[in-house]
Chain A
């Protein structure tokens, strides 16, 4: 265990934000879960007790009749906002006094940094470069993420859970989002920051980042495994596999979604449903491709003269 190396990575000035973000995220997940749980308990209670449902103020927080339903922004909200501003200021000042913003050698195009890393918030995308060609990782993927985020309100037809934390009422939406945000976005950043060392090789935390490390890795293409050699064959085979993934995956998701979210399913139009399917399957495709690469050393699934996937 190379503690020094670990400390070097953790304490690198530009890695501090991501180091700080992980416990922060954990804390807010806890905060959200606590409230979601309280609301879920309340919902269950109200669902079972129609009378109570009529009278209850329907929040997990205490309430007594006579208490104002609305409060003045001044001072009740502003005092919190000001307090938050002060605390953020304090944090920022202390951080700035104690930790210097990194400044390395003057830019030198002739001396490549190894590893050359993007800012931490883009490391997820950089990590994607391992699994996909640059045009997918660098262009298609970010575009899909942005579009995907944007379409969320239009494909989430579940009217429940608007304005309060809940898990039980929105299992599918929250599950999918957590999968995208935590598993795909944050942990990719984590891997890019802490695991990827010189040569963008995989170093477990605590392993020394040895610049001379050589590893033997042969990456094959999926068609090769099946002994397909002709270009047409490869193209067709890949198209079949990818198409197959979308077909089979689509069917599986359909089967799951129809059973577990019948109401949403019912509410959705065909367009909404197919957009949902496309994004969901693409998202699911990512870890599958990653696992294929990391565990089975498979580089491409679909090879065409124009692009490779």
Chain B
């Protein structure tokens, strides 16, 4: 109660001060009574149109009215969608032409990354732990089995999708000028996909993976010049310094091979593949979007280049 303790008002009239405070408080209460309902009403109105809020507008930069401009903006102003141009050849949307395999491959890559990251939480690439961890995933981790199954099958599916994608690209002649280079990037991505799948094969450390990898890497022994069983190998190439040893980190498939496999599978190849993927998508855009469906060209219309 400072009022009572401090009676020395400037004009010495303490009573006036008390009155002033009294009226002031009264006014405040009055304003609460009138303003609050009005503001509440306003807020409700505002919430009815969420796309008008500042929060919304800060995220989405344009309106979503169904106008061509907004449609174009929707794609162009979105970091994920701006891979696409705003408009495309009307027939490109036909599934029968593209088979959607490139997109599916990319989608599967994302699925594999997500499930793979989750699997990494539970996995130790060591000879003692690896198999146990897979058992643990299968029996203990909530959704662990599903996770592992999805990772495995998505990987297989990705190989299928990549091969079909290449098949389609060839059949539509989409590697032709100006897309020659992008086709090469694609070939590299195909190889990377196979390597990704192959390096993952060993990770459960079971008989299946062990022997698959043993068979696979045995071939490296025969690398001409670099494998100890290959032709043209110099005398100093032994099982302990040949290319297979480099791949496995040992002369047999063992703890080191597991670790190398793991690192290639989880870090090395995904990074390389991502770089090539960026390149691949970038080139698709730069080479004028996807190749077709283009208008058929007649043989007679070809102008032979002058030699």
Contacts and interface: CB of A to CB of B under 8 A. Distances in A.
Given A118-B215, A139-B223, A140-B224, A42 B296 contact: yes
A102 B134 CA distance: 11
Given A101-B148, A101-B152, A134-B221, A121 B294 contact: no
Contact of B173 (A17, A59, A129, A170): A170
A84 B161 CA distance: 13
Contact of A122 (B93, B150, B194): B194
A119 B198 contact: yes
B293 interface: yes
A232 to B, nearest CB: 18
B300 interface: yes
Which secondary structure characterizes the binding site on chain B?
helix
Given A73-B85, A135-B224, A138-B218, 13 more contacts: A24-B164, A35-B96, A59-B293, A67-B90, A76-B93, A93-B150, A96-B149, A101-B149, A104-B208, A150-B187, A161-B297, A165-B171, A307-B224
Contacts of A109: 210, 252-253
Contacts of A165: 97, 171-172
A152 B93 contact: no
A145 B146 CA distance: 36
A306 B234 CA distance: 11
Contacts, number: 304
Nearest to B104: A88
B298 A53 contact: yes
A74 B201 CA distance: 39
Contact of A73 (B88, B174, B176): B88
Interface string B96-137: 110110011001100100000000000000000001001100
Interface of B: 68, 71-72, 74-75, 81, 84-97, 99-100, 103-104, 107-108, 111, 131, 134-135, 138, 145-146, 148-154, 156-157, 159-160, 163-164, 166-168, 170-177, 179-180, 183-184, 187, 190-191, 194, 197-198, 201, 204-212, 214-216, 218-224, 227, 229-232, 252-253, 291-300, 302, 304-305
A162 B100 contact: no
Which range holds the interface residue count of chain A? 35 or more
A216 to B, nearest CB: 25
A153 B287 CA distance: 14
Contact of A17 (B68, B156, B208, B214): B156
A297 B304 CA distance: 49
A263 B304 CA distance: 9
A152 B175 contact: yes
Contact of B206 (A106, A150, A181): A106
B171 A174 contact: yes
B215 A126 contact: yes
Nearest to B294: A163
Interface of A: 14, 16-17, 20-21, 24-25, 28, 31-32, 34-36, 39, 42-43, 46-47, 53, 57-59, 61, 67-78, 80-81, 84-85, 88-89, 91-93, 95-97, 99-109, 111-113, 116-122, 125-126, 129, 133-135, 137-140, 146, 149-150, 152-154, 156, 159-166, 169-170, 173-174, 177, 181, 263, 266-267, 306-307
Contacts of A154: 180
B210 A107 contact: yes
A92 B153 contact: yes
Given A46-B296, A92-B154, A159 B211 contact: no
Contact of B103 (A71, A84, A169): A84
A121 B212 CA distance: 11
B295 A117 contact: no
Given A71-B90, A152-B175, A307-B231, A116 B294 contact: no
Nearest to B83: A73
